[in-house]
Amino acid sequence: MTVCWLATATYEEVAALDRAHAVAILPLGATEAHGPHLPLATDVIIAEAMARSGAERLAVRGVPVAVLPTVAFTPAPFAAAFPGTLGVLPATLEATLTEVAAGLATQGFRQLVIISAHLDPAHLGAVRQAVTVIAATGMRVAFPDLTRKRWAERLGEEFQTGACHAGRFETSIVLAERPELVRPSRAGLAPNPHSISDAIRAGKHTFAEAGGPRAYFGWPADASADEGRALVDALGAILEEAALPLLTDE
């Protein structure tokens, strides 16, 4: 069974999809600073890689899949001071997600998985609230929150430290997916072991306050495309595992 990419499908191709039994996947990214070496669309690239990997896994199982266009503008206050970062209010994201879910329901979709490679607290709070609202409408919805231990422990040591913005984790995935977008400067970047997770718990609100004056944390110089491919596979497995319980009583 093939995967339906909604942005490039025709309406007749969507009409032919078994929407009642399909899993709709909505990737969320951001447009924000990712160090001096990665593009502003890094979270978009990662979310789309996760969507592709998970969709392929579900399709092998015979599950119809529709991958929605990625939402690229989300709350990003931690990076707001850096040129190019473009964020929206949490309420804007929450409304977008709930309205998209309502549109899917109108068209006969019953299962939705929201995935996110963007981990700003304001963004995650809006997504969690939207998921609660969507679930109350009767749609089966899942959000594999990568900050939760059950998922984070599968994404490598750096990710678990919380020092993982534009570091080894994200740089490896971009090297695997879009190597031409990784600037050569990443090889000379010194490690930045400051944990964003610890900074958030300490009440910090920006990358600079958290110890990242150049908008990166972790070990970007240690990244590799091989590790990136393994991480994309792990992300795909996470999506698959989050989606399958939505189908248990089909």
User: 127: closest CA among 97, 107, 154, 157?
Assistant: 97
Virtual torsion, Cα 161, 165, 168, 171, nearest 10 deg: 160
For 10, half-sphere exposure in the C-beta direction (CA atoms, 13 angstrom radius) is 3
Per the document, the length of the chain is 250
Mean pLDDT of the chain: 97
**pLDDT tens by residue, 79-98:** 999 999 999 999 999 999 99
Domain ranges of the chain: 3-247
Residue 249, pLDDT > 80, answer: no
pLDDT at 94: 98
The class level of CATH for 3-247 reads alpha beta
Q: How large is the average pLDDT for residues 122-128?
A: 98
Residue 250, pLDDT > 90, answer: no
Which pairs count as long-range contacts for 136-141, CB under 8 Å and 24+ apart, including other chains?
A: 137/101, 137/102, 137/105, 138/105, 139/101, 139/104, 139/105, 139/109, 139/110, 139/111, 139/112, 140/110, 140/111, 140/112, 140/246, 141/101, 141/111, 141/112, 141/113, 141/114, 141/246
Q: How large is the average pLDDT for residues 56-62?
A: 97
Both tokens of 21, joined, read: 């039994």
What pTM did the predictor assign?
0.97
Residue 1, pLDDT > 80, answer: no
